[in-house]
């Protein structure tokens, strides 16, 4: 028996709390005559409602979304459109105009899209209408998709894009027994989530050891994101060309950092002709004497943020969706796509106090020039007692003195993050495989990231899942792939041989992190090593630094084609993408609904997206990759 809940555009949820709001009203663009609608913030949705009923009675939940092109100025900088939004072929000169374009692609008109909140066991139905002039696809980061492989979302892996003007419904049931915690959703075509198609996804459970009233009193979503002023398709086209983007072959440096969709761009650096409003920082209001759970989600495409609150240590209690024993830190380093819950204690604060929350990018993780970036995004936290009004003064709080804002882009130390629900990884493994990450150059000296010496170019109209359903074997010269038949305990050794730090994400399965080390590890050498199987951290996104390796142990108990890729979207879009094929003999078209198959019938509406899909071009690419690996210096 299941009840039904829905949130449709016409019955948008009521602002139950206006506790987080930008003081400045300048997010409405000025200085432009564009008739296109403007994307807005809905910060009131980001404090979770304590009245949400946490239950093990499953419900069907329906969400009605439209994806639209709008203008937006989340960091205050907004300017005149430079080019149409339809997909255009490679540009001659990727940076051809002095003005900064900021068209946004957003869901339901929101900068940082609608919250999905549900209980473990519920069935989520997201009805998506695509109003863009290009295709889109949406991924639900961290979902097991048990029985709904076609709904995972990555374009070229589990589906064809939702065409312009088309509609598609994603349906998936949250059946995994530990499928609860902090997640997010985002577009999964190219790097287009950089353009705004992102939002939080929070799942509760009666079995969650983290409980309101015990571990925390207030549940606040805190999204951090690096923000760019150009459309991602334009950046990717540049990065894939010999000219690179903005004079560099390396992943670009963002223009600003956003906290809950709001940022502060230094207008004195804005290009001529652009409209720029110097914004004030976001403000968050909390009562004294409370434990505030900050669900930090990095929805960015590149930066490692270090999140801190002046003069308040934070207690980390969740890593991705794994509840952990509390670990006290001054700063929470969070790589792209990762999540942490960090508890802020306002027990020593009194009404009227104010201090800064800082989300500071580690600039040493950027290989391209910093430009006008201010790496520090700020929000003001104001302590407000019941019936009182917030102070208006500028905080005088001081940043932690720790000299740890730079340095490597590594994750928060795994050994600090001990899962509350202790699960030992199986000691014996059935098999071991490699993903070797590196870089190469093509013969025209454009630049690609590789896994197992292959750079993946999305097959927009021939998803990997469909190939497997057809009984085909994925071509290892086209996509690096590991095939595991049956339910196995399998180790994946991720060697980062050369290049940059990569926050790798595995779809569908959680990974036990059983080993990290220096240098390259072979499967033979791994067979002779002992790994940490005693309640190791389980997560879905982890960083691997160049010159090091990580060993993750997975249990392949759900059939699927699980994408494995770097979550720096610029690296992913330049080829750093592989797949774990699980129990292929159990995957057939009977598992893929007609509606999902029909998305592939429309023909290729985005010729610029399906690079090298013809056989001769593929062979040429393979040849180039064989030639190329030593042509490019490991500087990106």
Cβ nearer to Cu ion, comparing 118 with 568: 568
Residue 560 DSSP label: E
The answer to the question of residue 571 lying near Cu ion (CB under 5 A) is yes
Cβ nearer to Cu ion, comparing 203 with 574: 574
Cβ nearer to Cu ion, comparing 296 with 566: 566
Q: What is the C-alpha separation between 192 and 153, in angstroms, rounded?
A: 13
**Nearest CA among 604, 619, 618, 573 for reference residue 463:** 604
The answer to the question of residue 359 lying near Cu ion (CB under 5 A) is no
Nearest approach, Cβ of residue 247 and Cu ion (Å): 20
The answer to the question of residue 568 lying near Cu ion (CB under 5 A) is yes
Nearest approach, Cβ of residue 553 and Cu ion (Å): 22
Query: Among the candidate windows 230-238, 261-269, 562-570, 610-618, which touches Cu ion by CB under 5 A?
Result: 562-570
Nearest approach, Cβ of residue 566 and Cu ion (Å): 3
Residue 14: both structure tokens together:
């009521």
Q: Are 548 and 480 in contact (CB under 8 A)?
A: no
State the DSSP H helix or E strand holding residue 571, giving kind and residue range, or none if neither. Answer: helix 569-572
Q: What is the C-alpha separation between 248 and 269, in angstroms, rounded?
A: 20
Cβ nearer to Cu ion, comparing 187 with 636: 636
Cβ nearer to Cu ion, comparing 341 with 446: 446
Q: What is the C-alpha separation between 396 and 475, in angstroms, rounded?
A: 59
Residue 513: both structure tokens together:
């992190």
- DSSP-derived pairing of the beta strands 354-361 and 322-329: unpaired
Nearest approach, Cβ of residue 541 and Cu ion (Å): 11
Hey, how many other C-beta atoms are within 10 angstroms of the C-beta on 276?
23
The answer to the question of residue 566 lying near Cu ion (CB under 5 A) is yes
Residues numbered 418 to 437 that lie near Cu ion (CB under 5 A) are none
Cross-strand bridge partners of residue 138: 187
Residue 220: both structure tokens together:
């606040």
Cβ nearer to Cu ion, comparing 488 with 545: 545
Nearest approach, Cβ of residue 502 and Cu ion (Å): 3
Nearest approach, Cβ of residue 338 and Cu ion (Å): 13
Query: Among the candidate windows 24-32, 275-283, 567-575, 624-632, which touches Cu ion by CB under 5 A?
Result: 567-575
Total number of residues binding Cu ion (CB under 5 A)? 4
The answer to the question of residue 565 lying near Cu ion (CB under 5 A) is no
Cβ nearer to Cu ion, comparing 474 with 566: 566
Nearest approach, Cβ of residue 543 and Cu ion (Å): 9
The answer to the question of residue 126 lying near Cu ion (CB under 5 A) is no
Nearest approach, Cβ of residue 501 and Cu ion (Å): 7
Residues numbered 491 to 550 that lie near Cu ion (CB under 5 A) are 502
* Residue that the structure tokens 């409370």 belong to: 290
Cβ nearer to Cu ion, comparing 249 with 380: 249
Cβ nearer to Cu ion, comparing 318 with 411: 411
Q: What is the C-alpha separation between 20 and 635, in angstroms, rounded?
A: 40
Cross-strand bridge partners of residue 124: 61, 172
**Nearest CA among 533, 569, 557, 582 for reference residue 193:** 569
Q: What is the C-alpha separation between 239 and 571, in angstroms, rounded?
A: 9
Nearest approach, Cβ of residue 298 and Cu ion (Å): 14
Residue 155 DSSP label: B
Contacts by 366-370, CB closer than 8 A, 24 or more apart: 366/250, 366/251, 366/253, 366/302, 366/303, 367/248, 367/250, 367/251, 367/500, 367/635, 367/636, 368/246, 368/248, 368/250, 368/251, 368/252, 368/253, 369/247, 369/248, 369/253, 370/253
Cβ nearer to Cu ion, comparing 41 with 573: 573
Cβ nearer to Cu ion, comparing 335 with 556: 335
Cβ nearer to Cu ion, comparing 173 with 437: 437
Which residue intervals of 312-399 are DSSP H helices?
A: none
Binding mask 447-466 for Cu ion (x = CB under 5 A): --------------------
Query: Among the candidate windows 34-42, 137-145, 397-405, 560-568, which touches Cu ion by CB under 5 A?
Result: 560-568
Cross-strand bridge partners of residue 314: 329
Nearest approach, Cβ of residue 613 and Cu ion (Å): 24
Nearest approach, Cβ of residue 194 and Cu ion (Å): 14
Nearest approach, Cβ of residue 499 and Cu ion (Å): 8
Nearest approach, Cβ of residue 500 and Cu ion (Å): 6
Cβ nearer to Cu ion, comparing 48 with 568: 568
Query: Among the candidate windows 361-369, 451-459, 566-574, 621-629, which touches Cu ion by CB under 5 A?
Result: 566-574
* CA distance readout (Å), 136 to 1, 162, 299, 550: 34, 5, 18, 32
- Sequence-ordered list of residues with C-beta below 8 angstroms from that of 185, at least 6 positions apart, any chain: 113, 116, 138, 139, 140, 141, 198, 199, 200, 201
**Which spans of this chain sit near Cu ion (rule: CB under 5 A)?**
502, 566, 568, 571
């Amino acid at each position: 028996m299941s009840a039904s809940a829905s949130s449709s555009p016409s019955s948008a949820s009521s602002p139950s709390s206006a506790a987080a709001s930008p003081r400045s009203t300048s997010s409405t663009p000025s200085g432009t005559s564009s008739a296109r609608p403007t994307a807005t913030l809905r910060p009131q949705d980001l404090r979770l409602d304590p009245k949400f009923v946490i239950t093990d009675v499953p419900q069907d939940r329906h969400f009605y979304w439209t994806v639209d092109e709008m203008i937006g100025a989340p960091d205050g900088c907004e300017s005149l459109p430079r080019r149409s939004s339809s997909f255009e072929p490679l540009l001659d000169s990727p940076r051809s105009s002095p003005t900064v374009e900021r068209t946004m692609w957003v869901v339901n008109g929101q900068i940082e899209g609608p919250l999905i909140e549900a209980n473990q066991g519920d069935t989520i139905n997201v009805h998506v209408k695509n109003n863009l002039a290009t295709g889109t696809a949406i991924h639900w980061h961290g979902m097991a998709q048990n029985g709904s492989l076609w709904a995972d979302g990555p374009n070229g892996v589990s589906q064809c894009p939702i065409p312009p003007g088309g509609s598609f419904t994603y349906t998936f049931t949250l059946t995994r027994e530990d499928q609860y915690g902090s997640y997010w959703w985002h577009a999964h075509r190219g790097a287009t989530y950089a353009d705004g198609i992102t939002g939080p996804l929070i799942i509760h459970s009666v079995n969650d050891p983290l409980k309101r009233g015990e571990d925390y009193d207030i549940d606040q979503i805190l999204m951090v994101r690096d923000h760019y002023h150009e459309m991602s398709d334009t950046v990717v086209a540049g990065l894939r060309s010999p000219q690179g983007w903005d004079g560099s072959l390396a992943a670009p440096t963002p223009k600003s950092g956003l906290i809950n969709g709001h940022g502060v761009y230094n207008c004195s650096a804005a290009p001529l002709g652009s409209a720029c409003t110097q914004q004030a920082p976001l403000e968050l209001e909390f009562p004294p004497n409370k434990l505030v759970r900050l669900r930090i989600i990095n929805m960015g495409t590149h930066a490692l943020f270090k999140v801190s609150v002046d003069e308040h240590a934070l207690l980390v209690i969740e890593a991705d969706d794994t509840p952990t024993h509390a670990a006290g830190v001054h700063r929470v380093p969070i790589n792209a796509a990762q999540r942490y819950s960090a508890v802020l204690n306002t027990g020593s604060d009194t009404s009227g106090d104010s201090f800064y929350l800082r989300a500071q990018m580690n600039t040493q993780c950027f290989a391209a020039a910093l430009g006008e970036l201010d790496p520090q995004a700020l929000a003001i936290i104001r302590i407000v007692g019941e019936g009182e009004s917030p102070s208006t003064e500028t905080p005088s709080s001081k940043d932690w003195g720790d000299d740890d804002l730079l340095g490597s882009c590594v994750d928060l130390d795994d050994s600090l993050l001990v899962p509350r629900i202790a699960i030992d990884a199986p000691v014996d493994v059935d098999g071991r495989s490699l993903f070797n990450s590196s870089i190469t150059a093509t013969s025209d000296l454009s630049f690609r990231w590789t896994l197992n010496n292959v750079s993946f170019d999305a097959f927009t109209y021939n998803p990997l899942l469909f190939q497997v359903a057809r009984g085909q074997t994925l071509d290892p010269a086209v996509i690096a792939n590991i095939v595991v038949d049956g339910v196995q305990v399998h180790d994946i050794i991720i060697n980062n041989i050369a290049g940059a730090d990569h926050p790798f994400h595995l779809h569908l399965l959680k990974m036990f992190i059983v080993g990290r080390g220096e240098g390259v590890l072979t499967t033979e050498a791994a067979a002779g090593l002992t790994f940490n199987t005693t309640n190791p951290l389980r997560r879905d996104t982890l960083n691997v630094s160049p010159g090091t390796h990580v060993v993750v142990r997975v249990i392949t108990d759900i059939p699927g084609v699980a994408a494995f890729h770097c979550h720096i979207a610029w690296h992913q879009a330049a080829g750093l993408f592989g797949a774990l094929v699980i129990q292929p003999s159990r995957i057939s078209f009977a598992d893929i609904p007609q509606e999902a198959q029909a998305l592939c019938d429309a023909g290729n509406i985005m010729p610029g997206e399906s690079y090298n899909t013809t056989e001769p071009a593929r062979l040429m690419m393979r040849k180039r990759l064989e030639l190329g690996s030593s042509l490019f210096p490991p500087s990106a």
